[in-house]
Amino acid sequence: MTKKRKKQKEKKRHQEKSTDQPELAVEELSEWQKLNQEYLEKKAREQAEQEKEAEEQKKIRLEGEEDVAADAEEADADADKEETASQEEATDKKEADGEESEGDSRDTEEKETSEEDVPTLLSKEDIPEEDEEEAEQLSEKELKKQLKAEKKQARREAKAARAGNTVDKKHILRAVPIFLMSILVCALSIYFLTPYASLKEVTVSGNKEVSSKDILSASNIHPQDYTVTTFLQQKDHAQKITKSNPWIKETKLTYQFPITFKIKVKENTIVAYSYSAEQYYPVLSSGEELPTPVDAAKMPESFIRLDFSDKSMLRSFVQQLVVLPETVVANMGTVQHTPSRATPDLLTVNMLDGNTVLVPLGDLSKKLVYYNKIQGNLLPPSTVDMEVGIFSHLTTPPEKTEELETTEEELTLPQEDVN
């Protein structure tokens, strides 16, 4: 009886153990599933984080070199985080693999324990750790290599982008003047091909003795000439006009936008008439004698008549005549060249008031200016000798030949004024 009871008790114990073991297995399997789900969720989160980081790195690469350096530091920090995360994943993977192996071993053990023996569960120590460590080392090395490669690539791209931008700016700066010059050349070439390039309007003013037609022909400005060349050669055209005719004293050529050229001339005036072969030839204010004589009917009522044997004296006479007062010039009638042994350039000036003045040509502007001061002391007709000093005498003495010669102190001006 005792043996039977012992056997029954052992059977009951065995049954109780067999019933308790599957419950434990079920409970352990549910915990593994939870761990597996947590692992998958963590992995999905890490993938999302990696994608976000990749997008951020792309944005960072487009920025400057300074941002790249900062991003490199952040990448180092992220690498540390990823290393720690990979280590955690590796540990979780170890645990999950250990649990999977334990679950498999538990399944096999349950089959075995269903017959007679109590099943034994595998622990984490029974899982081979060499393969897991190698996988972890490989994954860590690959991550480090990948991070280094990404950093290098980011730096290269940043340098290339910066170099490309600088090169583009240099090329643009160099191309701008060339582009502008090409546009200007094209515009000028088109302009010179059109008839507008030679279109111009020329006006003449200030002329009385010389016709506008003669001035235009003397300017050498032709209708087919370009407006630009006419503008650049203004001085040459003005000089040609001045030299073309003795009447013209000076010429001024000005340009008015867009196509107008104005010629303004200033003519010489007639200051005297040169008498030769019973003909009167005008003498201009420039000292030049015109070759064309003037008809007697066109002669003015009062004028200065010049009778010079040496025509080279005309220019010097006119130059000094301009300096004299207008009252003295208006009183002059005839000027003759009457040289003497002592004074080869002596002039005899017959005044309209009946007096005669003897004065050297070289001293005409210096001595004749005092004629108005001594005119009131003269008894016409008198002769004023200015060859040496200034003194006078009657041209036709009375019956009692009285010479009205006076001392130099009475009629002669102070020596300082004469000089």
356: domain CATH number is: 3.40.50.10960
In a domain, 380, yes or no: yes
In a domain, 216, yes or no: yes
Of 70, 41, 36, 44, the closest CA to residue 56 belongs to 70
In a domain, 330, yes or no: yes
Q: How many domains does the chain have?
A: 3
* Amino acid 25: pLDDT: 45
* Amino acid 135: pLDDT: 57
In a domain, 189, yes or no: no
pLDDT tens digits for range 139-172: 777 777 778 888 888 888 877 776 655 556 777 7
In a domain, 171, yes or no: no
If you search the block for the tokens 């006009």, which residue do you land on? 241
Q: Give the distance from CA 183 to its chain's centroid.
A: 16
| Same domain membership, residue 155 and residue 203 | no
| Same domain membership, residue 372 and residue 253 | no
| Same domain membership, residue 406 and residue 303 | yes
3-state secondary structure of 59: helix
- Report the relative pairing of strands 248-256 and 260-267 from DSSP bridges: antiparallel
| Same domain membership, residue 297 and residue 260 | no
Ranges of H-type helices in 63-128: 65-115
| Same domain membership, residue 29 and residue 137 | yes
Q: Give the distance from CA 81 to its chain's centroid.
A: 58
| Same domain membership, residue 336 and residue 229 | no
| Same domain membership, residue 250 and residue 295 | no
| Same domain membership, residue 354 and residue 282 | yes
Flag residues of the chain having pLDDT under 50. 22-27, 110-127, 398-419
Query: Facing residues of 97 across strands?
Result: none
| Same domain membership, residue 95 and residue 147 | yes
Cα R_g (the chain), whole angstroms: 64
| Same domain membership, residue 159 and residue 29 | yes
In a domain, 248, yes or no: yes
- Which of 267, 288, 323 is the last residue before a domain boundary? 267
Range of the domain at 397: 275-418
In a domain, 302, yes or no: yes
* Amino acid 276: pLDDT: 85
In a domain, 133, yes or no: yes
Domain with 239 in it: what CATH number? 3.10.20.310
Q: Which 8-state DSSP code applies to residue 400? A: S
| Same domain membership, residue 321 and residue 413 | yes
Burial 226-256 (b: 16+ CB within 10 A, else e): ebeebeeebeebbebbbebbbbbeebebeee
3-state secondary structure of 226: coil
3-state secondary structure of 378: coil
CA distance 349 to 305: 10
- Which of 210, 232, 267 is the last residue before a domain boundary? 267
3-state secondary structure of 377: coil
- CA quadruple 20, 26, 32, 36: dihedral, nearest 10: 180
Within a 13 Å sphere around the CA of 364, how many CA atoms are in the beta-carbon half? 24
| Same domain membership, residue 257 and residue 210 | yes
* Amino acid 236: pLDDT: 93
Using a pLDDT cut of 90, give the percent of the chain over it.
19
* Amino acid 126: pLDDT: 46
Q: Are the C-beta atoms of 155 and 75 separated by less than 8 Å? A: no
- Which of 139, 163, 187 is the last residue before a domain boundary? 163
